[in-house]
Amino acid sequence: MWIARHQASGAGTLRTSRRGRVTRCLTALLAGLLCLSGPSFAGVIKGKVVLAGAAPAPRKIDVTIDQYVCGTEKDAADLLLSPRKEIGNAVVWLENPPAGAAWPARADKVEMDQKACVYVPRVVLVPAGGTVDFLNSDRLLHNIHATPKDNVSFNRTQPKNRTISVTFAKPEIIKITCDLHAWMEAWVVVAAHPYYAITGADGQFEFDNLPPGNYRLKVWQERLGTTSVQVTVGEPQPTPVTVQMKAP
Query: Are 196 and 91 in a shared domain?
Result: yes
Cα 138-142-144 angle, rounded to 5 deg? 125
Q: The CATH number of the domain where 87 resides is what?
A: 2.60.40.420
Query: Are 153 and 205 in a shared domain?
Result: yes
Query: Are 64 and 19 in a shared domain?
Result: no
Could you tell me if 235 and 45 are in contact, meaning their C-beta atoms sit under 8 angstroms apart?
no
Domain of 94, in residue numbers: 43-246
Give the per-residue pLDDT at 16: 43
pLDDT, averaged across the chain: 87
Give the per-residue pLDDT at 21: 52
Query: Are 3 and 110 in a shared domain?
Result: no
Give the per-residue pLDDT at 186: 98
Could you tell me which of 80, 76, 192, 70 has the C-alpha nearest to residue 130? 192
The count of structural domains within the chain is 2
Query: Are 29 and 136 in a shared domain?
Result: no
Burial class (CB in 10 A: 0-12, 13-18, 19+), 212: middle
Q: What is the CA radius of gyration of the chain?
A: 29
Query: Are 226 and 132 in a shared domain?
Result: yes
Q: What pTM does this model have?
A: 0.82
Between CA 188 and CA 125 the distance in angstroms is 6
Give the per-residue pLDDT at 234: 85
Query: Are 24 and 53 in a shared domain?
Result: no
* Residue numbers of the chain with a pLDDT score lower than 50: 1-17, 22-23, 25-39
Query: Are 49 and 33 in a shared domain?
Result: no
Query: Are 84 and 204 in a shared domain?
Result: yes
Query: Are 132 and 230 in a shared domain?
Result: yes
Give the per-residue pLDDT at 41: 59
pLDDT tens string 160-172:
999 999 999 999 9
Query: Are 53 and 28 in a shared domain?
Result: no
Query: Are 57 and 117 in a shared domain?
Result: yes
Between CA 190 and CA 39 the distance in angstroms is 35
